[in-house]
Chains A and B, each alone.
Chain A
Amino acid sequence: MSGSFGRLRGLLRKEFLQIARDPSALAVAFLLPAFLLLIFGYGVTLDAHDVPIALVVENPDAVTASVTGKFAQSPYFRTSSFATIAEAEKAMDAHAVTGIVWLREDFTRRMLSAGGAPVGVIVNGMDANSARIIEGYLQQTWANWMQARAAERGAPPPLPVAVQQTVRFNPAVSSRDYLIPGLIAMIMTLTGALLTALVIAREWERGTLEALMVTRATIGEILLAKLLPYFLLGMGGMTASVVMAVTLFGVPFRGSLAVLTGTSALFLLAALGMGLLISSLARNQFVAGQIAIITTYLPAFILSGFIFDIGSMPAAVRFMTHIVAARYFVAILQTLFLAGDVWAVILPNALALAVMAAIFLGVARLGARKRLD
């Protein structure tokens, strides 16, 4: 028994020394998470902001000036004026503007008559997702103007009912607040599966694993000595990410730290199990890296609900998301950050993670032999 402890201690010390001396492991564990957080925190956002639009006013007067003024003041738009619709369309073709608001020649006359005036709105539909968002903002700005105008004239608002929107959990509807919790799952996938698969493949490549196998170390000790350090590294990366998310980006955290720690540990075990499985198939770093990216990181990105809503996926794809561990963890993280300890969400997802961790680790352990074939 004491021999086993000594062997494990020797292997662990070796692993930590290697991590400390290998800049690439530390980079994947800490630099890459920070880099991803900065990109997603500052760069990528699903909110519309300063969208370039064209205003085409065929017959400018006081009424149209008030409409264009409303658009110009809006933080969502950056406007530019065009005399004719043809010019505006040319600008859209050149990607100079994303949308066009078109006030026809008879706009003011029809506005003053009873029926109300139509406004032409053209949105570049190449990126359907953004188009829909921009369309919404345009309509909202238009509705605001109508309301303001009605109030000015002491008349009842032209719309029968004003829509009262309430967004729960994310009142500012900031995409950053739900992207960043999901991003933490991506980051832990990287350290858990990718890094683990790479470092074991490196031992195959350099022939060191072959030498270990002929020593008295058991296969269980060899696996455990790989699991523990990368578990700690993954938890460290997670802690750093959460601190960055809350302090730097002001993402709210409404759940409890204990639940966060517990569920993160479950997810990390599943990711590590996946990494061990990959390393038993791929014995060089290039192949291991490819398999890890394709089987863990990309699915986590696309199929976890981190960016794309699982509910709106086709049934077959939705079914596939159930074998992506990140799916459960993204749900837990988004709930913990934005809503709190909602057990109805956390318990089933945590259970799914526990089952996946048990399966991956179990298969990795049973499949491992102190042999090369």
Chain B
Amino acid sequence: MPPVPDAPPAILIDGVTRSFRAGGRTVTAVDGVGARAERGAVTGLIGPDGAGKTTLMRLCAGLLRAESGRIEVMGIDVGRDPAHAQARIGYMPQRFGLYEDLSVRENLDLYAELQGVPASERGARYDELLHMTGLGPFTGRLAGRLSGGMKQKLGLACTLVRAPELLFLDEPTVGVDPVSRRELWAIVGHLTRTANMTVLLSTSYLDEAERCGAVLLMHEGRIIGADDPASFTAGVAGHSFHVSADGIGKRRLHERLAGAPGVVDATIQGAYVRIVTETAAPPSAAILLPDTAAARITPVPPRFEDSFVTLLKARGGAAAAPFRPPAPGRASGDGAEEVIAVRNLTRVFGTFRAVDDVSFSVRKGEIFGLLGANGAGKSTTFRMLCGLLPPSGGTLQVAGYDLRHAAAAARGRLGYMAQKFSLYGDLSVMENLRFFSSAYRLRGALRRERIAWALEEFGLGPVSAATSRDLPLGYKQRLALACALMHQPDILFLDEPTSGVDPLARREFWHRINALAEAGVTVLVTTHFMEEAEYCDHLVIMAQGRILAAGDSESLKARLRTEGHPDPTMEDAFIALIEAAAPTRAA
């Protein structure tokens, strides 16, 4: 279909507002949004969790009604004629809309019937979709037994069974490993090129913006930027630099740069600190680091995230306040002390080896990362380290205790922050702090002092009476970290700590973690955010229960560095390792 010159845009949104009532409060999820998406392109709806992406997409699909404003999809008013608009839309909701107790083939059949694809056309269409998604060998398998990446592709195939003009994908890459993410993007690119399909895709991964033809940047219910990704990046070109200095550790350097004048953003990137400045001029070392002689400042290419953070900061995002970490309860020894020692750790469930001969060690005051896709064995390893699951074989020492004999003693020395919000949602912030402090057997003056510390250092004072469930995600995360630190642990375990929070909250979080590590707390973190691996001193990459590679982020990336690919990302390194380990995967 050649583009019609005067055809209306694929999506036209004008002054749309939608709010919800939750727990007695009114939350405006979409707040006076105006935007458009052009035909034949991939438009990315990008923003952190809770920005209003899903609500906006449901409004566009006619699943919700706007309170004010209007939305046109392919020239049809969705509010007035949703059925007519829906006939031209394919929509994949979060979790893909699959029937888990139906097979791949049965799911396709269902959607083919629902979309009115004649039986005679199905064979050819199925072949095409199964080939594109690589699901051909699995047509008889129940959807519930597929991996996350395969479910995502089946959900997409079901949506495409009758090729729609406009495809809505709501967070298709959430909970999916980097390899599958890359494959999905390849399919989406193929669809827009060959079938002239228009795609609206929402994501909270900022690095995916660069793959879109156009970007709608969403934050707190508003569109704060709409342009092609290159223009976003071009706006901050010349603002990004790598900084390193002799004699200052990267965390100390980061701490100082984050508070330096003219610096909008500072993140640790392997051995360097990456900064984004207010102006395009190269910053002077004398101003950035007044009393440091040997500072090296190298310009680096801008990223989409630089532009997002700059936009957010310009809208009044608060700079991270200095953080006074708690002194670890029983700090002793020097930095060479081995705090966690894992030797030949194995865990078997039935015939399945979830963790297979894993060995590593973590030194005091180190940030140690455990990276891997879903099902790689990270969580099982974590549970064994916390003494929640007995190992099938190997030895495990945490803070000098053998976990098989003294799990309780070891647990008293560690703090744990779970992946999902695992505090009591019905209790207030204060009640949660009181409960956790008593669970750690703090009493009297010490308990009051620790609670006061948590309220002060995590900025929870103003919300201490608020019900935890109703807090914004960033505050929930702060509260969870405060609870995990109540008893001044020497070791902190973080399981996917920053899933879904916005980039500013993530920076603030890492700012605190860095300060903790500087104070001698040992941090063990699992993550699938490859950029967070950059904060780690050491990391291991796991797949199928084994360690594929270990080292620091620089050495892992260096393995991939070639003439043609001078600056591979952590994600590139990760994918290369996974693909090398399982070459048959793509087949």
Residues on A close to B: CB < 8 A? 3, 6-7, 9-11, 13-14, 17-18, 21-22, 206-208, 210-218, 370-373
Contacts and interface: CB of A to CB of B under 8 A. Distances in A.
Contact of B65 (A216, A217, A371): A371
A206 B100 contact: yes
Interface stretch (B102-110, B202-210, B295-303, B534-542): B102-110
A372 B101 CA distance: 24
A214 B86 contact: yes
A208 B86 contact: no
A85 to B, nearest CB: 57
A11 B93 contact: no
A218 B86 CA distance: 11
A10 B113 contact: yes
Given A6-B113, A7-B113, A217-B114, A370 B82 contact: yes
Interface in B94-134: 94-102, 106, 109-116
Given A207-B95, A207-B97, A208-B99, A10 B63 contact: no
B481 interface: no
Contact of B114 (A17, A207, A215): A215
A212 B97 CA distance: 8
Given A370-B82, A371-B63, A373-B65, A214 B110 contact: no
A210 B64 CA distance: 11
B7 to A, nearest CB: 22
Contact of B101 (A10, A17, A216): A17
B102 A216 contact: no
B294 interface: no
Given A6-B113, A7-B113, A216-B116, 10 more contacts: A14-B99, A14-B102, A207-B97, A210-B63, A210-B93, A211-B92, A211-B93, A211-B96, A213-B86, A214-B86
Residue of A3, A13, A21, A211 with most partner-chain B CB within 10 A = A211
B127 to A, nearest CB: 20
A208 B111 contact: no
B58 interface: yes
B228 to A, nearest CB: 28
Contacts of B82: 370-371
Nearest to A2: B116
Interface in B41-62: 58, 61-62
Interface string B534-567: 0000000000000000000000000000000000
B274 to A, nearest CB: 38
Contacts of A212: 97, 114
A10 B83 contact: no
A277 B110 CA distance: 25
A10 B93 contact: no
B63 A216 contact: no
B122 to A, nearest CB: 11
B416 interface: no
Interface of B: 58, 61-65, 82-83, 86-87, 89-102, 106, 109-116, 142, 158-159, 168
14 contacts: A7-B113, A7-B114, A9-B113, A10-B112, A21-B142, A212-B97, A214-B91, A214-B168, A216-B87, A218-B83, A370-B62, A371-B65, A372-B58, A372-B64
A215 B89 CA distance: 8
Nearest to B155: A211
A206 B63 CA distance: 16
B157 to A, nearest CB: 13
Contacts of A213: 63, 86
A283 B318 CA distance: 38
Residue of B86, B92, B97, B102 with most partner-chain A CB within 10 A = B97
A189 to B, nearest CB: 25
A87 to B, nearest CB: 54
A372 B63 contact: yes
Contact of B62 (A6, A216, A371): A371
Contacts of A370: 62-63, 82-83, 86
A7 B62 CA distance: 20
Contacts of B109: 10, 13
A364 to B, nearest CB: 19
A211 B64 contact: no
A211 B95 CA distance: 10
User: What are the 10 A-B residue pairs with the smallest beta carbon separation, nearest first?
Assistant: A10-B113, A211-B97, A214-B91, A215-B114, A207-B95, A21-B101, A210-B93, A207-B93, A372-B63, A3-B116
B100 A10 contact: no
Contacts of A18: 99, 101-102
A17 B102 contact: yes
Contacts of B64: 371-373
A11 to B, nearest CB: 7
B63 to A, nearest CB: 5
A218 B82 CA distance: 12
B116 A210 contact: no
A80 to B, nearest CB: 54
A211 B63 contact: no
Contact of A214 (B89, B96, B112, B113): B89
A220 to B, nearest CB: 12
Contacts of A6: 113, 116
A10 B110 contact: yes
A17 B99 CA distance: 10
Given A14-B102, A371-B64, A207 B113 contact: no
A11 B114 CA distance: 8
A69 to B, nearest CB: 65
Contact of B115 (A14, A207, A216, A371): A216
B106 A17 contact: yes
A210 B142 CA distance: 20
A372 B91 CA distance: 14
A208 B114 contact: no
A207 B98 CA distance: 8
A174 B61 CA distance: 61
A213 B96 CA distance: 13
Given A14-B106, A371-B65, A207 B94 contact: yes
B60 to A, nearest CB: 10
B65 A214 contact: no
B520 to A, nearest CB: 45
Contact of A207 (B65, B96, B110): B96
B264 to A, nearest CB: 38
B529 to A, nearest CB: 24
B26 to A, nearest CB: 14
A171 B158 CA distance: 63
Contacts of B61: 214
Contacts of B90: 214
A214 B62 contact: yes
Contacts of A207: 93-97
A200 to B, nearest CB: 14
A290 B298 CA distance: 63
Nearest to B82: A370
A117 to B, nearest CB: 68
Nearest to B113: A10
Contacts of B114: 7, 10-11, 212, 215-217
A14 B100 CA distance: 11
Contacts of B111: 215
A18 B98 CA distance: 12
Nearest to B63: A372
A3 B114 CA distance: 8
Contacts of A22: 101
Residue of A9, A10, A18, A212 with most partner-chain B CB within 10 A = A10
Nearest to B83: A370
Residue of A6, A11, A18 with most partner-chain B CB within 10 A = A6
A165 to B, nearest CB: 57
Contacts of A218: 83
Contacts of A210: 58, 63, 93, 97
Given A11-B110, A11-B114, A17-B106, A211 B91 contact: yes
Nearest to B90: A214
A369 B99 CA distance: 21
A344 to B, nearest CB: 48
A208 B111 CA distance: 11
